[in-house]
């Protein structure tokens, strides 16, 4: 758990650090841990590509939103530039996650 706390203090938790946590705390070998982490994120990405919501209990929800085309402006020149329609992913933290974040401050 100490390694996890150090990562939050550093500002980021990487996939490699997740692999190390599985190796140290769950007793998996590094190859297996890497496969689990990569597979987990691949499943999330594949679901989002299909337009499905991803709900992780205790963490939050990832949702795909369709954004309509809109006019934009080049900040340097002031020229109007059309922004095409696109799909974006949004994340909404769960109540439990929000409580933990507020308790940590």
In the chain, the domains with their CATH numbers are 1-50 (4.10.520.10), 52-105 (4.10.520.10)
Contact 59, 76 (CB under 8 A): no
pTM: 0.74
Residues paired with 82 in a beta bridge? 71
**How does pLDDT run across 1-51, given as a tens digit for each residue?**
444 555 455 678 899 999 999 999 998 999 999 999 999 999 999 999 999
């Amino acid at each position: 758990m100490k390694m996890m706390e150090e990562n939050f203090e550093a500002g980021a938790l990487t996939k490699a650090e997740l692999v190390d946590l599985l190796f140290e705390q769950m007793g998996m070998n590094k190859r297996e841990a890497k496969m689990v982490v990569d597979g987990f994120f691949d499943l999330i990405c594949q679901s989002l590509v299909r337009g499905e919501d991803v709900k992780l209990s205790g963490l939050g929800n990832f949702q795909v939103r369709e954004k309509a085309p809109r006019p934009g402006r080049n900040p340097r020149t002031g020229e109007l530039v059309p922004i095409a329609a696109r799909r974006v992913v949004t994340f909404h933290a769960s109540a439990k996650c929000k409580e933990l974040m507020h308790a940590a401050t």
